[in-house]
Amino acid sequence: MKTRVLILCTGNSARSQMAEGLLRHMAGDRLEVHSAGTRPGSVRPEAIAALAEIGIDIRTHWSKHVDDFAGQPFDYVITVCDHAKQSCPVFPVGTRRIHWSFEDPAAATGDQPHRLAEFRRIRDQISHRLTEFVDSL
């Protein structure tokens, strides 16, 4: 069986979506990767654009609720925002929880180039952490 990873955020619209796309790209067939939110919204176009710039297509992703994965076993649950960490449901014994606190790029204000720059910055931070995670497996 593949190692199963669930990446959680509040809205499942930016950070967790970018992390899902990045981790799938990095790990290939080695991992089964999902993302969800505690209060899902819709995938941010800036998240799609930031990953498209590095050759990763998440246009078909959609925001999912963490309850959609209730009762499913995961080897790792990675929270990428503080709110998701605090409201994360309990997962079965043996699930390893990891928390990384990233700023919410969706909170960026200003014009489109400035907002996209924030998504790129967070994308790169997430990519760095995921590279370390994959290397540790």
Residue partners of 101: CB distance under 8 A and separation at least 6: 80, 81, 82, 85
Neighbouring CB atoms inside 10 A of 36's CB total 21
Residue with tokens 């997430």: 126
The three-state secondary structure class of 101 is coil
Q: Where along the chain do its domains lie?
A: 3-136
136 catalytic residue (yes or no):
no
CB-neighbour burial class of residue 113 (10 A; exposed 0-12, middle 13-18, buried 19+): exposed
Q: What is the structure's pLDDT at 90?
A: 60
* pLDDT tier for residue 96 given thresholds of 50, 70 and 90: very high
d(CA 6, CA 78): 6
Q: Which of 32, 49, 83, 88 is catalytic?
A: 88
User: pLDDT tens across 10-46, in order?
Assistant: 999 999 999 999 999 999 999 999 999 999 999 999 9
The three-state secondary structure class of 4 is strand
C-alpha separations of 96 from 4, 25, 73, 79, 110 in Å: 11, 21, 11, 11, 38
Q: Which of 5, 8, 9, 122 is catalytic?
A: 9
Q: What is the structure's pLDDT at 1?
A: 83
Q: What is the structure's pLDDT at 136?
A: 94
pLDDT exceeds cutoff 80 at 103: yes
Q: What is the structure's pLDDT at 70?
A: 85
- The fold for domain 3-136 equals Rossmann fold (3.40.50)
81 catalytic residue (yes or no):
yes
29 catalytic residue (yes or no):
no
User: pLDDT tens across 73-92, in order?
Assistant: 999 999 998 776 666 666 66
Q: Which of 19, 43, 58, 81 is catalytic?
A: 81
Q: Are 20 and 126 in contact (CB under 8 A)?
A: no
Q: Can you read off the two tokens belonging to residue 37?
A: 């939110």
Q: What is the structure's pLDDT at 129?
A: 98
Q: What is the structure's pLDDT at 92?
A: 66
CB-neighbour burial class of residue 29 (10 A; exposed 0-12, middle 13-18, buried 19+): exposed
